[in-house]
């Protein structure tokens, strides 16, 4: 809980400073916009967080967005699939890719980094090939207005992605922090061997996180496709996996596994998006965007290390 | 007469709570092979670690060629010409032979101090020749057999001008013919004037290559035998001569023989050796043997943690399919593993979470954990086992060894065990907690469980077991009834010899 409190303070401080320097920050338009983006990034970051908690990593998320977006557009506009079928198709395909990653990692014993790095290259290439390297769009969404509204509309004045994030966060909070499965995730991340000795099928636990993350990535893929409204396969979703990893790490996940929380991941996502917004609003050259993000993640993790060390020293003294 | 090459005099070493060595002396002459024998924990490793600069002796002196020396660090042992060949190989298998031999001492060349490749290979060859090793110095280590890798280590020792070579269980992972070659090499090195200290449990090897045998027992010199005097019986006699007070109390539990049967169980460590035994309901069956006899592997095979294991397991006449650890646990067959922190516990989780880990599904409805029930069960175990912990929420990391072990026991005791296997249950645990664990094992047996206890502590085996099964190189070499459980009998079986009192491990 301490970690979440720490970055919450950081988040509020950042918001306050930005609001003081540029009141536009708290304008309804800007806040709605930001809620939308936090929703988009938060959903898949939670999935990525689960993988990181088991001690794994997924680098292929951004390429999955490109592949999913391209397929969604083709299914809706060229094959004229009914939209529920098209959406289901995207979800199933991305979950299948997740299952394949899990299988390669647990059965073939290939490192998660390698498996998903290959995925990153493979799916990006496939997306570009399938689309003929052309941008795929959704036109005026004839016949699938409902899907568009689900992805891009508003409910009670809040953007849909943000509402979906709230739902996903609550469900996944129950799964991670209250369910048997969630306990297994932490146990596997902290000591896979001892977990196996307690009669738990650790391979199944690990592989399943890639499928669950696949579902969340699939949902995000649909939302992102409608957010940009056109999918250019060579750039769509580039680097997004890194945003997710950065959010999870800022939120208290350890890449060694066994640490992390849903609340932390959500706050971490929000923090990163506020930073981006701040760069825009304060007139910092947007070329510095990545540099600012990198610096803040580094400072956040460094501060956490220093606090931990101090706490350990205190413990030793007492 | 010349001073011996190496002379250890009156070495003592204490660790908190234990005297590891007391007034131990050992001398080695030039070109002499001295075998060092003793039970597990007799002090052999401690003595060698003192020689290697890992530990400092509390008393006594080390003389090399008659001059007193101190060995403050590992490098100093190397400088003095003392080299170790350990049980576990210490090589980098992604590098070639020459790179391993000259690791850290590579010859340089040119202004950029690049490795002089020509010279490193040329310099390696003579050592390989000297060992009669027909491999190229350019071969990568992972292309070599274990025995050849070991030879490379010896070549490295020779290149360091080692005068004293200490081999610690060098043949434990070698095949018979490889062992033969190594022993030939020992003889050859002796001819070349190298002195050797040869530590082995295998008396046949000692018999073949040693000029003299020095036997340690309980951290003291138990005696030595010259070449002519070496015989298995005399070595074992000196190893076990100590007095052990037995606290064994005959249990009055009703026993059901043949309740638990294991037939032709083969573990992946010893695929060619089949193990069969019977255990009675209500008894504590001790598993004795020297380190590496395959006892832990047997335990893991029984509880379904060895995917390559084959064989049959029968509980109360029923054949069980134990392909996974889940199945074993569902049948009430539990293992308290040797490696407490690596395999027994998730140390960065609380006492509560560790106790409930195998049973989470029983503590849940609709997949959600009912924390209150979980906490209650953990609290019950903490209370009955008297675990010293501030609360059930404390991380296991912060508990002492004895209390950590109790948490593992609590995990399994929270559902009645039918078969409880404990692997080195009291290693590294203080005396008080030890006594509690012994009582607990007895209570378990009396309440109708089968308790299988693997232990390398002779005292513990004699103290607790109703019967003792002794293992030797992957097989049960005999089972001793309580009346025949003497240290001498157990040691004889542990080194693979026959004992008239020993019974077969099972009856059809």
CA distance B415 to chain A (A): 13
Cβ atoms of A291 and A275 closer than 8 Å? no
Cβ atoms of B156 and B100 closer than 8 Å? yes
Show the tokens assigned to B344: 């027994």
Q: Does A135 touch chain B (CB under 8 A)?
A: no
Predicted pLDDT at B104: 83
Phi first, then psi, for residue B241 (nearest 5°) are: -60, -5
Distance CA B162, CA A1 (A): 57
Residue A87 has pLDDT above 90, yes or no: yes
Cβ atoms of B283 and B453 closer than 8 Å? no
Q: Does B97 touch chain A (CB under 8 A)?
A: no
Domains observed in chain A: 2-317 (1.10.3470)
Q: Does B369 touch chain A (CB under 8 A)?
A: yes
Distance CA B469, CA B477 (A): 8
CATH 3.40.640.10 is the classification of domain B6-240: no
Inspect the interface and report whether the beta carbons of B349 and A186 lie closer than 8 Å: yes
Distance, C-alpha B85 to centroid of its chain: 17
Inspect the interface and report whether the beta carbons of B343 and A197 lie closer than 8 Å: yes
Residue of A nearest to B328 (CA): A199
Predicted pLDDT at B247: 65
The string of pLDDT tens digits covering residues A91-142 is: 999 999 999 999 999 999 999 999 999 999 999 999 999 999 999 988 888 7
Range 255-314 of A in CB contact (< 8 A) with B? 258
Distance CA B491, CA B293 (A): 13
Q: Count other Cβ atoms within 10 Å, centred on residue A256.
A: 10
Distance CA B271, CA B268 (A): 5
Inspect the interface and report whether the beta carbons of A190 and B346 lie closer than 8 Å: yes
Show the tokens assigned to B87: 């049980």
Nearest-CB residue to A194 (from B329, B346, B368): B346
Q: Does A181 touch chain B (CB under 8 A)?
A: yes
Distance CA A170, CA A262 (A): 9
Distance CA B149, CA B155 (A): 10
Q: pLDDT confidence of A1, banded at 50, 70, 90?
A: low
The string of pLDDT tens digits covering residues A207-254 is: 999 999 999 999 999 999 999 988 999 999 999 999 999 999 999 898
Cβ atoms of B396 and B406 closer than 8 Å? no
Q: Does A191 touch chain B (CB under 8 A)?
A: yes
Beta-strand ranges (E) seen in B125-163 are none
The string of pLDDT tens digits covering residues A290-316 is: 888 888 888 888 887 888 788 778 766
Reduce the DSSP state of residue B405 to 3 states and report it.
Answer: helix
Inspect the interface and report whether the beta carbons of B369 and A183 lie closer than 8 Å: yes
Give Cβ neighbours of residue A93 (< 8 Å, ≥ 6 apart).
A67, A68, A71, A218
Nearest-CB residue to B368 (from A179, A191, A196): A179
Taken in order A67, A71, A72, A77, the sign of the CA dihedral is positive
Nearest-CB residue to A180 (from B325, B328, B369): B369
Give Cβ neighbours of residue A84 (< 8 Å, ≥ 6 apart).
A147
Phi first, then psi, for residue A237 (nearest 5°) are: 80, 10
ipTM for this prediction: 0.88
Q: In terms of Cα–Cα distance, which of B78, B83, B285, B287 is closest to B168? A: B83
Q: Where are the domains of chain B?
A: 6-240, 256-332+416-494
CATH topology identical between B6-240 and B256-332+416-494: yes
Alpha helices in chain A (DSSP H): 2-21, 28-53, 61-73, 83-106, 112-130, 145-152, 160-178, 180-190, 192-197, 202-228, 240-250, 262-281, 289-317
Q: Count other Cβ atoms within 10 Å, centred on residue B449.
A: 25
Predicted pLDDT at A61: 96
Distance CA A256, CA A268 (A): 18
Inspect the interface and report whether the beta carbons of B368 and A201 lie closer than 8 Å: no
CA distance B488 to chain A (A): 35
Nearest-CB residue to A201 (from B326, B330, B345): B326
Distance CA B250, CA A176 (A): 50
Q: What is the largest CA-CA distance in chain B?
A: 84
Predicted pLDDT at B242: 58
Inspect the interface and report whether the beta carbons of B342 and A179 lie closer than 8 Å: no
Beta-strand ranges (E) seen in B180-306 are 195-199, 212-217, 220-226, 256-266, 275-281, 284-289
Range 192-211 of A in CB contact (< 8 A) with B? 193-201
Residue of A nearest to B305 (CA): A197
Pairing label, strands B67-69, B59-64: antiparallel
Inspect the interface and report whether the beta carbons of B325 and A196 lie closer than 8 Å: yes
From chain A, the residues in CB contact with B346 under 8 A are 187, 190-191, 194-195
From chain A, the residues in CB contact with B411 under 8 A are 198
Q: Does A186 touch chain B (CB under 8 A)?
A: yes
Region of B178 (left: φ > 0; alpha: ψ -120 to 50; beta: rest) is: alpha
Predicted pLDDT at A90: 96
Reduce the DSSP state of residue B481 to 3 states and report it.
Answer: strand
Name the CATH superfamily housing domain B256-332+416-494. Answer: P-loop containing nucleotide triphosphate hydrolases (3.40.50.300)
Average pLDDT over residues A48-76: 96
Predicted pLDDT at B404: 93
CA distance B328 to chain A (A): 8
CA distance A193 to chain B (A): 5
From chain A, the residues in CB contact with B324 under 8 A are 199, 201
Predicted pLDDT at B243: 55
Average pLDDT by consecutive 10-residue portion of chain B (508 residues)? Answer: 83 82 92 88 86 90 90 87 83 90 87 88 90 87 86 89 89 77 88 90 85 90 89 82 63 83 91 92 92 89 92 92 90 94 93 95 90 94 92 90 92 94 87 84 93 89 92 92 89 87 78
Phi first, then psi, for residue B106 (nearest 5°) are: -60, 135
Inspect the interface and report whether the beta carbons of A199 and B326 lie closer than 8 Å: yes
Predicted pLDDT at B292: 79
Taken in order B280, B286, B290, B291, the sign of the CA dihedral is positive
From chain B, the residues in CB contact with A189 under 8 A are none
Q: Does B344 touch chain A (CB under 8 A)?
A: yes
Predicted pLDDT at B112: 85
């Amino acid at each position: 809980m301490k970690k979440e409190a720490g970055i919450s303070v950081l988040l509020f401080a950042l918001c306050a400073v930005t609001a003081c320097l540029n009141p536009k920050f708290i304008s309804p338009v800007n806040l709605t916009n930001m809620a939308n983006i936090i929703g988009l990034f938060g959903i898949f970051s939670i999935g990525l967080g689960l993988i990181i908690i088991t001690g794994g990593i997924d680098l292929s998320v951004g390429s999955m967005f490109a592949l999913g977006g391209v397929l969604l557009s083709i299914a809706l506009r060229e094959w004229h699939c009914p939209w529920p079928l098209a959406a289901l198709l995207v979800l199933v395909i991305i979950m299948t890719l997740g299952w394949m990653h899990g299988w390669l990692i647990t059965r073939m014993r290939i490192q998660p980094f390698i498996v998903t790095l290959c995925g990153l290259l493979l799916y990006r290439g496939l997306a570009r090939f399938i689309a003929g390297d052309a941008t795929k769009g959704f036109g005026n969404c004839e016949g699938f207005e409902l899907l568009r509204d689900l992805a891009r509309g508003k409910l009670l004045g809040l953007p849909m992605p943000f509402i979906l994030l709230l739902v996903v966060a609550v469900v996944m909070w129950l799964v991670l922090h209250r369910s048997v499965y969630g306990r297994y995730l932490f146990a596997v991340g902290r000591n896979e061997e001892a977990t196996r000795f307690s009669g738990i099928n650790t391979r199944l636990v690990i592989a399943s996180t890639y499928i669950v993350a696949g579902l969340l990535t699939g949902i995000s893929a649909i939302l992102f496709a409608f957010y940009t409204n056109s999918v250019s396969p060579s750039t769509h979703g580039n680097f997004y996996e890194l945003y997710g990893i950065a959010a999870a790490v800022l939120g208290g996940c350890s890449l060694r596994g066994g640490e992390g929380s849903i609340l932390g991941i959500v706050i971490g996502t929000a923090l990163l998006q506020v930073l981006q917004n701040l760069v825009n609003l304060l007139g910092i050259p947007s070329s510095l965007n990545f540099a600012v993000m990198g610096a803040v993640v580094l400072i956040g993790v460094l501060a956490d290390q220093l606090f931990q060390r101090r706490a350990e020293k205190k413990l030793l003294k007492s | 007469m010349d001073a011996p090459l190496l002379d250890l005099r009156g070495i003592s070493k204490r660790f908190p709570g234990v005297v590891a060595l007391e007034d131990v002396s050992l001398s080695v002459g030039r070109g002499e092979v001295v075998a060092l024998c003793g039970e597990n924990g007799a002090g052999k490793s401690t003595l060698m670690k003192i020689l290697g600069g890992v530990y400092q002796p509390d008393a006594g002196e080390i003389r090399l060629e008659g001059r007193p020396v101190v060995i403050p660090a590992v490098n100093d042992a190397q400088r003095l010409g003392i080299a170790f060949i350990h049980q576990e190989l210490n090589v980098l298998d992604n590098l070639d032979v020459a790179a391993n031999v000259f690791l850290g001492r590579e010859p340089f060349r040119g202004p950029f101090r690049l490795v002089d490749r020509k010279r490193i290979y040329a310099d390696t060859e003579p050592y390989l020749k000297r060992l009669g090793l027909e491999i190229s110095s350019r071969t990568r280590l992972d292309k070599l057999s274990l025995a050849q890798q070991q030879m490379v280590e010896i070549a490295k020792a020779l290149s360091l001008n080692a005068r004293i070579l200490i081999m610690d269980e060098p043949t434990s992972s070698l095949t018979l013919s490889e062992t033969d070659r190594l022993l030939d090499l020992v003889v050859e090195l002796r001819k070349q004037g190298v002195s050797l200290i040869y530590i082995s449990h295998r008396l046949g090897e000692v018999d073949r290559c040693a000029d003299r045998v020095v036997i340690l027992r309980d951290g003291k010199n138990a005696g030595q035998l010259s070449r002519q005097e070496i015989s298995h019986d005399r070595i074992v006699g000196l190893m076990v001569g100590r007095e052990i007070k037995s606290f064994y109390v005959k249990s009055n539990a009703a026993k059901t023989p043949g309740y638990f049967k294991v037939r032709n169980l083969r573990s992946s460590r010893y695929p060619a050796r089949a193990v069969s035994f019977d255990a009675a309901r209500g008894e504590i069956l001790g598993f004795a043997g020297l380190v590496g006899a395959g006892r832990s592997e047997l335990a893991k095979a029984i509880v379904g943690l060895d995917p390559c294991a084959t064989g049959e397991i029968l509980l109360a006449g029923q054949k069980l399919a134990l392909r996974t650890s889940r199945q074993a646990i569902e049948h009430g067959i539990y293992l308290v593993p040797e490696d407490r922190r690596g395999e027994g516990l998730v140390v960065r989780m609380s006492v509560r979470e560790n106790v409930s880990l195998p049973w989470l599904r029983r503590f849940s409805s609709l997949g959600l954990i009912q924390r209150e029930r979980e906490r209650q069960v953990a609290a019950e175990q903490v209370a009955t086992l008297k675990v010293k912990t501030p609360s059930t929420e404390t991380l296991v990391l912060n508990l002492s060894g004895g209390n950590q072990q109790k948490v593992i026991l609590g995990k399994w005791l929270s559902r009645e065990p039918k078969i409880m296997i404990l692997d080195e249950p009291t290693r590294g645990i203080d005396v008080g907690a030890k006594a509690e664990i012994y009582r607990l094992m007895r209570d378990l047996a009396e309440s109708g469980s089968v308790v299988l206890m693997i232990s390398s502590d002779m005292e513990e085996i004699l103290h607790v077991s109703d019967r003792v099964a002794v293992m030797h190189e992957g097989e049960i070499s005999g089972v001793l009834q309580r009346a025949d459980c003497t240290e001498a009998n157990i040691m004889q079986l542990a080194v693979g010899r026959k004992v008239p009192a020993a019974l077969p491990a099972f009856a059809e």
